[in-house]
Amino acid sequence: MALSEVGQAQLRLNAMAALELFIERRGGFATRDELVDFVLGGRRFGLIDRNRGIRNPQELDATLSVVSAADGPYADRIDPETGLLEYAFRAGDMTGGDNRKLRAALTARVPIIVFRKPSPNVYVPVFPAYVVGEDLIRGHVLIATDDALAQAYREGIRPIFEKSYVERVVAQRVHQPMFRAQVMSAYSTTCAICRLKHPELLDAAHIIADRDHNSVAHVSNGLALCKIHHAAYDQRFLGISPDYKVHVNARLLDEVDGPMLKHGIQDMHEVELTLPHREADWPSRDFLDERFAEFQA
């Protein structure tokens, strides 16, 4: 039974607030089981459906979430001109079944959650997102991943947007969270240098600056680093050689200071990098080499 309108709005917002906290503590992603068996206010309330790519809880008149493939032949496309995600209607009747509540999300203008799935069992939420249009001929809805884009699309002022603005929104809202999730998942949420495991203190660092804002940087251009080692790497206080070893700046090695310098930095000299389980996720030796040359310069 659907709740009252206010009850529905509350449930939707509570689910999103709880997800935000959960994702932050988890390092930017969740697994399928965690989302299917999500607990909200002491009871199980799945944020994704166990068997389908759309979650239409019986308490709600409109869709709560959709799972959108981020790669592979059936990937949902993000239009680079508009920044809108094209999410295919469920098979069958476009106006009935699961699609009915998806279209209700368009009419009611309620926020939904889009889960992007960059790799198996890595779910990255983008929310609040809004269904802002539909294309019944090509068989998809259009989803905005940002309030301003949603507003603009509804008011038909889309053409005034600079392409660079759309690119930036998609990079910030979709690509960067996906990069972080992939890096955190590959490194089991562990600093590659000191093995710190608190996601709140970890960053997904780029080895080579991200030049292409139209795509997600590959995990081989990433390193999971704690805040201090990320900053130290960026400031060239330490470097990482292509043989996966940490090198501390020679001048810094001679300095005498408190425990952070001694244990946090100097003790990391010649430490072996903690690498991802899967070799395919290891940092690229070419990228490390390019960056290491800058450190040595």
Can you give the binding site for Zn ion, defined by CB under 5 A?
191, 193-194, 196, 226, 229
Cα–Cα distance between 139 and 142 in angstroms, integer? 10
Longest dimension (CA), the chain: 71
Q: Shortest approach of Zn ion to residue 280 CB, angstroms?
A: 23
Q: Residue 272's closest CA among 241, 250, 294, 296?
A: 241
Strands 65-69 and 54-55 come out as antiparallel
Q: Shortest approach of Zn ion to residue 184 CB, angstroms?
A: 14
Closer residue to Zn ion (CB): 23 or 194: 194
Q: Is 69 helix (H, G, I), strand (E, B) or coil?
A: strand
Closer residue to Zn ion (CB): 12 or 291: 291
Q: Residue 204's closest CA among 283, 136, 89, 278?
A: 283
Closer residue to Zn ion (CB): 11 or 192: 192
Closer residue to Zn ion (CB): 55 or 229: 229
Q: Shortest approach of Zn ion to residue 248 CB, angstroms?
A: 13
Q: Shortest approach of Zn ion to residue 194 CB, angstroms?
A: 3
Query: What sign does the dihedral 17-89-49-171 (CA atoms) show?
Result: negative
Q: What angle do CA 190, 224, 84 make, to 5 degrees?
A: 120
Q: Shortest approach of Zn ion to residue 240 CB, angstroms?
A: 12
Cα–Cα distance between 206 and 204 in angstroms, integer? 7
Element (H, E) at 143: strand 140-144
Closer residue to Zn ion (CB): 166 or 192: 192
Q: Shortest approach of Zn ion to residue 289 CB, angstroms?
A: 22
Closer residue to Zn ion (CB): 60 or 205: 205
Element (H, E) at 63: none
